[in-house]
Amino acid sequence: MSTPKPPAPRFIPYEFWPLAAAAGGVVVSVVGGGFVSGMFAGHGGALPGGFYGFLSVMKGLVSSPGDPAAAWPDGTRPGGPVLTWVCIAVVAVAYVTAALYVAGKVSARQSRRKARERGHADRRELLIRGLTAKEAVKAAKTNRNSLKTIADRKIDAKTVALRLGRLYGSRSAADDVFLQYRDGVMIEGATGSGKSWRIAWHRIVASAGFALVTSTKPDLLWSTVSHRLRVGKVRVFDPEDITRWPKDMRLRWSLLAGCEDPETAIRRAAALVSVLPADDAKNAAYFKGKAAVLMRCYLYAAAHLGKDLRTVRVWAASRGVTEVRELLQAKLPDWAADLEQILDSKSDSSDDVLGSTTELLASLASPRLLAAVDVPIDESEDLEKLVAGPNTVYLVSDGKTGSCRAFTSVLAAEIYHLGKKVGRQMPQERLDPPMSLVLDEVNNVAPIPDLPSLITDSGGGGISIWAFSHGELQNKKRWGTYEGEMFTTTSPVRVILPGLMDDAELGSISRLLGDYEEWITPHHAPRSRPVMSIRDLREMPADQAIMLYRGAAPALVHLPTVWALPAIKAQVDASEMVYTQICEGGELPGWAAEVYEKDKTADADAPEQVAQS
């Protein structure tokens, strides 16, 4: 709890200082202007004689403005009328400028002190917690091997760290808030609170390495595609045709590619069942576990037998899967036993498991969606090669029942796995530059298995996760009460946007922010008040957010929308034009095609370079 000192008794009223500043301005302007005028005229510096001499000068200026020099004592007079008045005006302007500068500094200092006394983070807190630009550069050099030999002064903090915003009410760049790539971030906000245009857009554009972007809408694609095309390849996975991205340029990836390896089949089956909502019933985990067993068996068998997803869907809805049983008996007898235990059971729970498995592939009942995701294994994209470069993959799905969210979830999980794999081959076993996962609508589009745990510890491997959620209730619905609460509260950084309406969560946040001691008068004991009440949280300004960073005091951060910043708005508009050009023309612009050709050349030269080495 922040406990400020009691206020000292005030003997001078607030109104005194503006009047004193104005009076001082008159004195400085007249005396200084006259002195400078005399110097320019060659008479020497003209100064009135003492207090009464100054009053005499003021009287003379008022009574005879056409001859201001006559107001000064003989022998110390300034120059002519025009020169004198010009000098007085110049000194007055200089005084006002200096006064406003000093007033701004004093006001900023008072604001920081007031924020600190009310329990909010100030500039000093940012410095202590390593959230300033300078500290961000130091931390980046520690965590990224490629930066160790570069001088600090040559590194732009915005290229090696992530600028979230600026302390609310400040105009100084010294109050900019920087986060490290190692910091996993949970962003909570209601629909329309600005998750995309206040945070996600900046996060995608600033990504130094590979970026995975998920969304239920095309806005993040068309607003950032120009930036991402300038640094690497862009792939779009959109089986539901939510975007206008040309179909022959979309990501083609087979769920079955690589599933002849049991470990791959296990991993992808777990990712598939992660889209099933978690409830708190004791048998929920049982059903999900058994569904994962069936799916791993079917994926493994399909990869070995050369089957497609239509066949997998048929297997998932039936018990008579003779060819699957025979294959598993020959290659993995223990898997065959697991499969038989589920399929040959006469209990109601067995029917429920089959129902859950069928639900996972329900979207494939649509011939259009089946055609979009049932890719031949030999035509499947090499995801590992994509992840190893500064490329971008956009996963788009509406995330509703009947959508392809199961496949976007598997694809996101596979990209995460490959990021870890590529990182282990680098110095310090860490991706450099870091990989960014910008997971908008994370609970609907990309519920990667164990994400509540991954967001806390992936940063050490060079994988930065920013998860965007509608709030704790949605997290609990997706992950269950315990893991949903864990997802919300244990992320290294938590950003809370306006618009949350859940009274329980708002109350929890208010208690988490704590209380501060407020002094009303120096003669009475202080009273305890919440740093932010439930009402304060619910009625936050649209451009304000609360950032909770590890053990730091809560920071009020200014987050303007991209539409409020002319330079950035121009970039968004330009990206939309590039997107439209690609969608209507069916091909990349020339400058983007050059990036692709460079990548092709590098890929072609790689085997020769390896042989020479």
Q: pLDDT digit string (tens) for 20-39?
A: 788 787 888 777 777 777 77
Considering its fold, how many domains does the chain have in total? 3
Confidence of residue 44 (pLDDT cuts 50, 70, 90): low
- Per-residue DSSP letters for 5-24? PPPPPP-S-TTHHHHHHHHH
Helix residue spans in 490-589 (DSSP H): 503-513, 534-538, 566-585
pLDDT at residue 47 tops 80: no
Lowest mean pLDDT segment, chosen from 42-51, 155-164, 260-269? 42-51
Same domain membership, residue 551 and residue 452: yes
* Average pLDDT of the residues in 577-587: 94
- As a whole number, the mean pLDDT across the chain is 86
Whether residue 605 is predicted with pLDDT greater than 60 in this model: the reply is: no
Residues 436 and 565 in one domain: yes
Q: Is the pLDDT assigned to residue 610 strictly greater than 50?
A: no
- More reliable by pLDDT, 278 or 245: 245
Residue 3 is predicted with a pLDDT of 55
User: Is 336 found in the same domain as 243?
Assistant: no
Note the pLDDT of residue 516: 80
Residue 167 forms part of a structural domain: no
Would you place residue 101 in the very low, low, confident or very high pLDDT band (cuts 50, 70, 90)?
A: confident
Q: How buried is residue 178: exposed, middle or buried, by Cβ count under 10 Å (0-12/13-18/19+)?
A: buried
- Considering the domain architecture, whether residues 339 and 391 belong to the same structural domain is answered as no
- Residue 612: pLDDT band by 50, 70, 90 thresholds? very low
Asked if residue 51 and residue 87 are part of one domain, the reply reads: yes
Instruction: Give the pLDDT confidence of 567-580 residue by residue, as tens digits.
Output: 999 999 999 999 99
Residue 200 belongs to domain spanning: 185-252+382-499+540-580
463-469 vs 185-188, strand pairing mode = parallel
pLDDT at 603 over 70: no
List the CATH number of the domain containing 345: 1.10.8
Domain stops at, among 60, 85, 117: 117
Residue 332: pLDDT over 50 = yes
Q: What is the 3-state secondary structure (H, E, C) of 241-296?
A: CCCCCCHHHCCCCCCCCCCCCHHHHHHHHHHHHCCCCCCCCCCHHHHHHHHHHHHH
The predicted-structure confidence for 179-223, as pLDDT tens digits, reads as follows 998 899 999 999 999 999 999 999 999 998 999 999 999 999 999
Q: Are 337 and 219 members of one domain?
A: no
